[in-house]
Amino acid sequence: MSSAPNPTAHAPSAPPADGLPGGGAFADVTASESALRRYLHGLPGVDAVGLEARAATLGTRSIKTSSKAHAIDLAISMIDLTTLEGADTPGKVRSLCAKGRNPDPTDRTTPRVAAICVYPDMVATAGEALAGSGINVASVATAFPAGRAALDVKLADTRDAVAAGADEIDMVIDRGAFLSGRYMKVFEEIRAVKEACRRTDGGAAHLKVIFENGELSTYDNIRRASWLAMLAGADFIKTSTGKVAVNATLPNTLLMLEAVRDFRAATGVQIGVKPAGGIRTTKDALKYLVTVNETAGEDWLTPEWFRFGASSLLNDLLMQRQKLSTGHYSGPDYVTVD
């Protein structure tokens, strides 16, 4: 596995003149609702049995002790440390930012996390707390988590977060539109949010597009959503909000990794992947890193291209890191409770 660089998001490349990845190679695909539907339904069907068997095999791969310490540090550097609760306060957000900057106060060699993810009204607070740290401020937007709002409301939500200093925007797709086959509505909404991510200085916030795989139900739908989001200009594709019963799983993340691998082969454009929700242990995180390496390759093994949407995961990674370093676990007060 490659070493992790500083966990700052890659700067989104300037879009081609026609706004489509790959220099407009897919312009005909997105020219109309019928063309887009034909393309998405023409993607190869997913062999569910084969996909799950492949994920299960990758999940049994072991990492040598000599590599485990590096893998744990890499996983820490890929975390989007998150608080998305109605009871969030400025104090809670500042505390989370402090933990992200210095996850283990007893060991200054511990990597910092990739980003702190908060609601739009907490972006400014997070930005102040993270100033000079190199950690990005991410914000959910577009009426997260349900996405049930008019487009102008979603765009205002996005613009407010970007104006407050968000480096990254995590948007949710309209699952109702997607599941009813209105693919162009979803495509155009992603494109509009992408445009709303632009800042007045000419830069842009990084756009992560959340599918909510637990509501898409089928692997074929997840593959279609992956290609739809990438065609629309997503910088990252993300499994879930963490707010439903079924969130990230190894098979659906494997499927999304195959999609970004194939998309880069077709267009030359690299897209990141973010599994979110339900990843709580070091053992789980290492399975995901093995899956990234074996599916998309080492190019994705950096915080620029792979993230974990998880908070409880960080505590377990810190406990396991301390165990490798000292040979024993610390007491229950070794890590802070988020």
Query: Measuring CA to CA, how many Å separate 208 from each of 101, 109, 172, 232?
Result: 22, 29, 9, 12
Tokens (6 digits) for 225: 């959503």
CB within 8 Å of 158: residues ≥ 6 apart? 141, 142, 169, 171, 193, 196, 197
pLDDT at position 22 is 54
Q: Which of 274, 284, 287, 316 is catalytic?
A: 274
pLDDT at position 327 is 75
Q: Which of 80, 238, 284, 316 is catalytic?
A: 238
Q: Is 238 a catalytic residue?
A: yes
Query: Measuring CA to CA, how many Å separate 299 from each of 134, 167, 198?
Result: 21, 22, 26
Q: Which of 104, 170, 235, 284 is catalytic?
A: 170
CB within 8 Å of 266: residues ≥ 6 apart? 22, 25
Tally the C-alpha atoms within 13 A of residue 25's C-alpha that lie toward its C-beta: 12
pLDDT at position 98 is 97
Query: Measuring CA to CA, how many Å separate 314 from each of 78, 79, 141, 285, 321?
Result: 10, 7, 24, 10, 10
CA 159 to chain centre: 20
Indicate the pTM of the whole model. 0.90
Q: Is 194 a catalytic residue?
A: no
Tokens (6 digits) for 82: 């998150």
Quickly count: other Cβ atoms within 10 Å of residue 253's Cβ. 25
pLDDT at position 24 is 62
pLDDT at position 152 is 96
**List of the chain residues with pLDDT < 70:** 1-25, 329-338
Q: Is 274 a catalytic residue?
A: yes
pLDDT at position 245 is 81
Which CB contacts under 8 angstroms, 24+ apart, belong to 99-107? 99/314, 99/336, 99/338, 100/130, 100/133, 100/135, 101/130, 101/133, 101/135, 103/76, 103/314, 103/318, 104/318, 104/321, 104/322, 104/335, 107/321, 107/322, 107/325
pLDDT at position 61 is 86
82-132 pLDDT, tens per residue? 999 999 999 999 999 999 999 999 999 999 999 999 999 999 999 999 999
